[in-house]
Amino acid sequence: MNQKDIDRMVRDSEITERSWKKGPPPHIGWWNASYRRCKEQWSWWDGEKWSTPAYFFDTRKQAAENAKYRAIAYVDKIEWNDYYPQGARVPRVDPRDIK
């Protein structure tokens, strides 16, 4: 997949019906986060900064690799929402609630 295909996919998936928020999310984890409100873009929030994004076509290994690197473009414009896929293999859990 080349950059033109990725740009088209991101543009075609932009959404507004979710409630997008600015600022930090409530806890560490993967969040649907994007400066373009793209439903296909997920970034890791480590409690201080956003990672580079991962997309649906990335492997788990690629997504984990992306989570290691700090987002550098449009960081001040990143918005997030609390959408989480129904039936996800791993539930969204606030790590502060784990005993």
Residues 10-62 pLDDT 10s: 555 555 567 899 999 999 999 999 999 998 899 999 999 999 999 988 999 99
Domain boundaries, the chain: 13-78
DSSP state of 70: B
Taking alpha carbons only, the member of 23, 71, 77, 28 closest to residue 51 is: 71
Write the DSSP symbol of residue 48.
S
Single pTM value for the model: 0.76
